[in-house]
Amino acid sequence: MEKYVMEFYKEATKAARDAGRVGKIEPSRPSAYDFKYEKGNLMFYDSCLGSGKFVGQMGIWKNDLPVWAMNYKGQVVALGFKEEFLNSALNNVGDEPQHHLRGAPIFAEIGQEYRCDIEGDEKDFVGHEEIFANGTLVYRMSFNGGEIVD
């Protein structure tokens, strides 16, 4: 996979986090949250159903052909989840390239801890992330995806 595709992914997901719900586009399905980001011949699209419990898919298209995608499913499991903390964790990626897909293996701020485990690389991966607030699990998400080759 070309390096610039993953650089575009990092740029697009940061733009999506910065936009919040305000920056979403017209949903493709009832009650969906959709976000689209384009640059040159690349397009990023993220579509999510639900909020407390959610399922979604994000993908990258090059010249209108899909080249990469990730599916995800997660939920807030207890009081104490802070979306701002998750965004901070995702903006502080680790040194390993596979952690550019989500966040560093461990990221902590006062009373909050993000943990992310990923097997594989951007071409084929599976992972899981969790957030703990004062030692209590408050959020979890599983994800998988990779390169799309015709």
Task: Give me the mean pLDDT over the 45-56 stretch.
Answer: 93
User: Using CA atoms, how far apart are residues 11 and 8, in angstroms rounded to an integer?
Assistant: 5
What are the boundaries of each domain within the chain? 3-147
For 59, the enclosing helix (H) or strand (E) is: strand 53-62
Residue 133 has pLDDT above 90, yes or no: yes
Which pLDDT tens digit goes with each residue over 80-124?
A: 999 999 989 988 876 677 677 888 899 999 899 999 999 999 999
Residue 2 and residue 10: Cα distance in Å, rounded? 14
pLDDT at 22: 46
Of residues 88 and 131, more confidently modeled? 131
Smallest CA-to-CA distance from 148 within 70, 73, 45, 96 is with 70
**Is residue 73 predicted with pLDDT exceeding 50?**
yes
Beta carbons within 10 angstroms of residue 28's beta carbon: 10
Token pair for residue 17?
Answer: 């986090």
CA distance 144 to 117: 12
Note the pLDDT of residue 14: 83
- Using a cut of 0.75, tell me whether the model's pTM lies above it: yes
